[in-house]
Structure 1
Amino acid sequence: MTDKFDKDKVDKVPAGASPAPTAIPPEAIKAIPVRHYGRWVAGVVVVALLVLLAVAFSQGDVRWATVPEKLFDPSILEGLGNTVLISVASMALGLVLGVVFAVMRLSKNPVTSTVAWLYIWIFRGTPVYVQLLIWFNLALIFPIFNIGFYKDEMTDVMTPFLAALLGLGLNEGAYMAEIVRAGIQSVDEGQTEASHALGMSQAKTMRRVVLPQSMRVIIPPTGNEFINMLKTSSLVVAVQYPDLLRAAQDIASTSFAVMEMFFVASIWYLILTSVFSVGQFYLERHYARGSLRSLPPTPWQKVKANLARFSNREAVTR
C-alpha cells in the first residue's frame, strides 16, 4: 500500500517539474553591535589632555577678565577693520596679478613667459616679511619719487598702507599665478580649439570659455590663500600699519596685559578665518555645480543628518 501511495503521489506532479521543497522559516538574525573600544580610549585621552591644559592655564597669572573687557575696545575694532581692508585689497591685487602673469606664463612669446617666470621666482622665493621691509625702506635708495609727470618725496608716497599693500599683494600675486595657471591647464584643449573654430579670439576664448570652467579648480586654493592672507597680514606691523595686532600691542604697552591682548587678537583672527571659511565653502559649492552629481551638504544639513542618525540609533537601542 505504501509503494502504491507514493507512486500515485508522484504521478500527480507535472512532467519536468520538481516537487516543492518543504518551507523552513529562516532563523532570526541576531545583530551584535561592533564595540569600538579604541574610540572610547582616544576620547578619554583627548578629554584628559584638555583638562590638563585648562588646569595649567588656570594656574597661570592671567587676568582673564581683561579679555572680554578689551575684546570690543574701539582701537581693537579699528585695527580689525584695517586688517580686513588690507587683506581684501592685497588679495584683490594678487588675484589680478595672478591672472595676468598666469596668462603671460602660458604665452608662446618667450619675452612675456620669461618675465612672468622671473616675477614668480623672485616674489615666491623671498619671505614676505623681507619684502615688506624693502618697500617700507625704499626711500633709503630712492629719496625722490619721480616718474616724469609726478614728483614727490618717497617717504610721502610710500605710506604704511601702500607698503603693506605692495608687500602682501605682489607676494600673493606670485602664488595666485601658479594657482590660476593650474586651473587654466585643467580645462581640456578641445574647448579652446572649438572656440577658435567658431571664430572667437584668444582673449575672448580665455575670458568666456577657459576661465569660467577653471574656476572650480581655482576657487578652493584661492580661498585657502585668502585665509592665509588674513593671518599673514599681522606682519604689516613691521611697516607701522595700524592693524589688529598693532592695536593689541599698543594697548598691551600701556595696560601691561601683554598675554591678555594677544589672546584678544587671536580670538578675532579665529572669528575672521571662521567667517571667511564658511563663505569659501558656499563659493566652492556654487562652482561645483555641473561637475558633481550631488552637491556636498551644507553645515546645517550635516547637523540635521547627525541628529537624525542619533535619534534613529536611540530608537533601535530601545
Structure 2
Amino acid sequence: MSALVENWPALLAGLGTTLLVLVTSAVGALVLGTLVVVARVSPVPVLRAAAFGYVQVLVNVPLLALLLLAVFALPDAGLLAPLTLTAIIVLTVYEAAYVAEALRSGINTVPRGQVEASRALGFTLSQTLRLVVVPQAARAVVQPLGNVLIALLMNTALAATVGVVELTSAVNKVNLVQAEPIPIFGAAGLVYMALALVIGLGAGRIEKRVAIRR
C-alpha cells in the first residue's frame, strides 16, 4: 500500500491520460460512427459499399495491430503526431465501427411505416434520418453504446504498448521500481472496474429515461 501512497502523483497523471483518451475517443467514435451508419443506410450504392467495407475491416483487424501500424509505419510515410493523439485517432476510428453497428441495430427497430410516412409528407432522406430515424435509433441503443464505451475503456490500456503513459503504463512503471504487483495492479483493476460500473449504471439510467414507449 505504501507504494501507492508514495507514487500517487504518477498514478493520478496516468489516470488523467486514460480519462482524456476515453472521453475524446468516445466523442469522436460517436460522431464518426453516426456518419458511417448514415452512409450504410443511404440509397447511394457507393456510400453503402464504402461503409460496409469500413465496418468489416475494422471489426476484423486487431486493435493492437492498428496501433502499431499507426505509431511505427505512419511516421515513415511522413505522418507525425504525438503518441497520445495517435492513440486517440486509432481508438476513434476503431470504435466507430462498433458504434455504427450498434446504431444500425437501433435503426432496424424503427417501424418501417414511420419512414414511409415521412416520405409521404415530403421529407428528404436527410430529414427522415435526422428527424425520424436516428433519434429513435439512438434511444434504442443506449445500453449497447454503453457496452461499446466500456470496451473502449478497456482498450485504452493497449495504448501503453505504444508508449502512451496512461494508467496501465503508469502502474507498470511503479511496479518495476516498487516490486509490489498485487496491491499496485489490484488497485488499477479496481479503478477500471469502478469506471466500468459508472458507465454501465449511467447507461442503464439513461436508457430508462429515454426509453420509447410503444
CA distance in 2, matches of 1:228, 1:167: 14
Q: Is 1:246 aligned to residue 169 of structure 2?
A: yes
CA distance in 1, matches of 2:4, 2:72: 37
Q: Percent identity?
A: 31
Q: Is 1:125 aligned to residue 60 of structure 2?
A: yes
CA distance in 1, matches of 2:95, 2:113: 31
- Matched to 2:121, the amino acid is L
- Matched to 2:100, the amino acid is A
CA distance in 1, matches of 2:175, 2:204: 35
Question: What is the CA-CA distance between 1:260 and the residue it aligns to?
Answer: 2.5
CA distance in 2, matches of 1:139, 1:223: 31
- Counterpart of 2:30 in 1: which secondary structure? helix
Question: What is the CA-CA distance between 1:82 and the residue it aligns to?
Answer: 1.2
Structure 1: state its 5+ residue gaps: 1-64, 146-153, 292-318
Find the counterpart in structure 2 of residue 183 from structure 1: 106
Q: Is 1:88 aligned to residue 88 of structure 2?
A: no
CA distance in 2, matches of 1:211, 1:116: 17
CA distance in 2, matches of 1:141, 1:264: 38
Find the counterpart in structure 1 of residue 129 from structure 2: 206
Relative contact order, higher structure (CA 8 A, sep 6+): 2
Find the counterpart in structure 2 of residue 37 from structure 1: none
Q: Is 1:262 aligned to residue 185 of structure 2?
A: yes
Check conservation: 1:248, 1:264, Cα contact below 8 A: no
- Matched to 1:168, the amino acid is L
Which of 93, 115, 118 is residue 50 of structure 2 equivalent to?
115
Q: Is 1:104 aligned to residue 27 of structure 2?
A: no
Check conservation: 2:29, 2:99, Cα contact below 8 A: yes
Find the counterpart in structure 2 of residue 78 from structure 1: 13
Which of 138, 160, 166 is residue 89 of structure 2 equivalent to?
166
Which of 219, 223, 233 is residue 156 of structure 2 equivalent to?
233
User: C-alpha deviations, 1:22-71, integer Å up to 9, x for none?
Assistant: xxxxxxxxxxxxxxxxxxxxxxxxxxxxxxxxxxxxxxxxxxx347636x
* Residues 139 and 205 of structure 1, relative CA distance in 2, 3 Å threshold: closer
- Counterpart of 2:146 in 1: which secondary structure? helix
Structure 2: state its 5+ residue gaps: none
Check conservation: 1:67, 1:264, Cα contact below 8 A: no
Instruction: Map residues 285-304 of structure 1 onto 2, 5 A cutoff.
Output: 285-291=208-214
- Counterpart of 2:208 in 1: which secondary structure? helix
Larger CA Rg, structure 1 vs 2: 1
- Matched to 2:184, the amino acid is M
Question: What is the CA-CA distance between 1:258 and the residue it aligns to?
Answer: 2.8
Give the number of equivalent residue pairs: 214
User: C-alpha deviations, 1:98-152, integer Å up to 9, x for none?
Assistant: 111111111221211111111111111010111111111134530x24xxxxxxx
User: C-alpha deviations, 1:272-299, integer Å up to 9, x for none?
Assistant: 11222221111111112524xxxxxxxx
- Matched to 2:164, the amino acid is Y
Question: What is the CA-CA distance between 1:264 and the residue it aligns to?
Answer: 1.7
CA distance in 1, matches of 2:4, 2:47: 53
Check conservation: 1:135, 1:166, Cα contact below 8 A: no
Which of 130, 137, 144 is residue 72 of structure 2 equivalent to?
137
Check conservation: 2:3, 2:178, Cα contact below 8 A: no
Check conservation: 1:99, 1:177, Cα contact below 8 A: yes
* Structure number with higher helix proportion: 2
Give me the TM-score of the superposition, normalised by structure 2: 0.92
- Counterpart of 1:108 in 2: which secondary structure? coil
* Residues 208 and 78 of structure 1, relative CA distance in 2, 3 Å threshold: same
- Matched to 1:259, the amino acid is I
- Counterpart of 2:35 in 1: which secondary structure? helix
Check conservation: 2:140, 2:211, Cα contact below 8 A: no
Question: What is the CA-CA distance between 1:73 and the residue it aligns to?
Answer: 0.7
CA distance in 2, matches of 1:114, 1:89: 28
User: C-alpha deviations, 1:197-256, integer Å up to 9, x for none?
Assistant: 222221112111111211232211100110111111100001211211111111112222
